[in-house]
Amino acid sequence: SLIMECADQWRIPAGGALAVDREAFSEAVTQRLCNHPLVTVHYGEVTALPEEDITVLATGPLTSPAMTEALMKLTQADQLYFYDAAAPIIAVDSLDTEEGFWASRYDKGEKDYFNCPMDKEQYEAFYEALIHAKVTPAREFEKEKFFEGCMPVEVLASRGPKTLLFGPLKPVGLLDPRKNTRPYAVVQLRQDDGACTLMNMVGFQTRLTRPEQLRVFRMIPALAHAEFVRYGMVHRNTFINSPQLLLQTGQLKSAPHIFLAGQMSGVEGYVESAASGLAAGINSGLMFKGKEPVVFPEETAIGALLHYIVAADPKHFQPMNITFGLLPALDPIPRDKKLKNQQLVQQALDSIDQLSQSLN
């Protein structure tokens, strides 16, 4: 992997995590691509999309206004989002069901939400930690329109200790079955995938740093041991509403000769963006040869991610990283998590190998 090679070359100390010197890392990737014998780089702004020629669009999260307008015109819908306001996503098997309960407000419909109650003392401790937590500073270009695009939970909290109680933590319509009383505050989690392996913290888009998200959000009793598969974030971004506009092959529904890749397509992360570009490259190459584009198997990481971005709820769609939770469940499911992940990896490798053989 080009991305991982460059990341290893420019990694910086970060405990058990892989972190890189971003500028050096980006320059290394750029130089490798520019020096590739089969790659020709042309510098200049592209402001329009071709009507017929097979094209891969991978303009990233800071797509120019002109290209944004061209894409909106092509899709005939205002389906571009200019702020990525994402709440944390948590593995469902890490929730403490002794401290929380499944229910919907006023018992309407199914019990679709996992509710994390807090009493007054717990809420006040959580609130104090939240308003004093460290946040990721905004970039210069984000500051002017920051409040127009989203409202981080810590900003809401800064307006007063009661604000959250009338917002995302409002307890109305919910009874804690353990006590048969209404909690003082409730954090709700909503299912984020079809298999119900991932849960989204409702209304918890945040600029808290990752360590602070772990520290503060784990103060919620039902989330004391929560495994965060995606951290909350708020930053300027441009991406399409993939469930409405994109095919699983990476093609635009309204213009199948246009393939989207990278963060524009709704994936999140360096490796994920590169992988979606490889998938788009393979499929655009197949189309150029007069063949049908392929759907990558859901047992593979890139196949699972491409399936997620086109099958997610369009009303709540946000860019997504790859996580084991997106892969189809094994049958039977091993109790040992490490063994389960090893089997999922092997299944993915076997599946991508079969696809590779079918294409060659």
Task: Determine whether 74 is exposed, middle or buried from the number of CB atoms within 10 Å of its CB (0-12, 13-18, 19+).
Answer: middle
| Mean pLDDT score, 155-161 | 94
Beta strands in the chain (DSSP E): 11-12, 19-20, 55-57, 80-86, 89-91, 101-103, 113-118, 185-191, 198-201, 228-230, 233-240, 258-260
Task: Determine the Cα–Cα distance for residues 153 and 359; give it in Å rounded to an integer.
Answer: 47
H-only helix segments in 198-252 = 210-217, 242-245
Q: How many residues does the chain have?
A: 360
DSSP label at 324? G
Q: Which two tokens stand for residue 15?
A: 């405990």
Pairing of strands 258-260, 55-57: parallel
For 57-113, the DSSP string reads: E---TT--HHHHHHHHHHHTS--EEEEEEE--EEEGGGS-TTT-EEE-GGG-SS--E
Confidence at 107, pLDDT banded by 50, 70, 90: confident
Task: Determine the Cα–Cα distance for residues 285 and 162; give it in Å rounded to an integer.
Answer: 56
Residue 140 has pLDDT above 70, yes or no: no
Q: What is the pLDDT of residue 148?
A: 38
How much is the mean pLDDT over the chain? 89
Q: What Cα–Cα distance (Å) separates residue 289 from each residue in 49, 88, 292?
A: 21, 42, 9
Task: Render pLDDT for 115-139 as a digit per residue (tens, 0 to 9).
Answer: 999 999 999 999 999 999 999 876 6
Q: What is the pLDDT of residue 232?
A: 93
Task: Determine the Cα–Cα distance for residues 261 and 331; give it in Å rounded to an integer.
Answer: 32
Residue 8 has pLDDT above 90, yes or no: yes
Task: Determine the Cα–Cα distance for residues 138 and 148; give it in Å rounded to an integer.
Answer: 14
Task: Determine the Cα–Cα distance for residues 359 and 339; give it in Å rounded to an integer.
Answer: 31
Q: Are 76 and 244 in contact (CB under 8 A)?
A: no
Q: Name which of 13-17, 169-173, 347-351 the model is least confident about.
A: 13-17
Domains and CATH numbers, the chain: 1-43 (no CATH), 44-86+236-359 (3.50.50.60), 89-231 (2.40.30)
| Mean pLDDT score, 165-171 | 94
Q: What is the pLDDT of residue 16?
A: 59
Q: What is the pLDDT of residue 233?
A: 86
Residue 163 has pLDDT above 60, yes or no: yes
Residue 353 has pLDDT above 60, yes or no: yes
Q: Does the pTM exceed 0.85? A: no
Q: What is the pLDDT of residue 123?
A: 98
Q: What is the pLDDT of residue 286?
A: 97
End-to-end CA distance of the chain: 20
Residue 110 has pLDDT above 90, yes or no: no
Residue 17 has pLDDT above 80, yes or no: no
Task: Render pLDDT for 225-280 as a digit per residue (tens, 0 to 9).
Answer: 999 999 998 777 788 999 999 999 999 999 999 999 999 999 988 899 999 999 99
Q: What is the pLDDT of residue 192?
A: 78
Phi/psi at 320 (5° precision)? -135, 140
Task: Render pLDDT for 60-90 as a digit per residue (tens, 0 to 9).
Answer: 878 888 998 999 888 886 757 666 678 999 9
| Mean pLDDT score, 154-160 | 94
Task: Render pLDDT for 275-333 as a digit per residue (tens, 0 to 9).
Answer: 999 999 999 999 999 999 999 999 999 999 999 999 999 888 888 899 998 999 888 98
DSSP label at 248? T
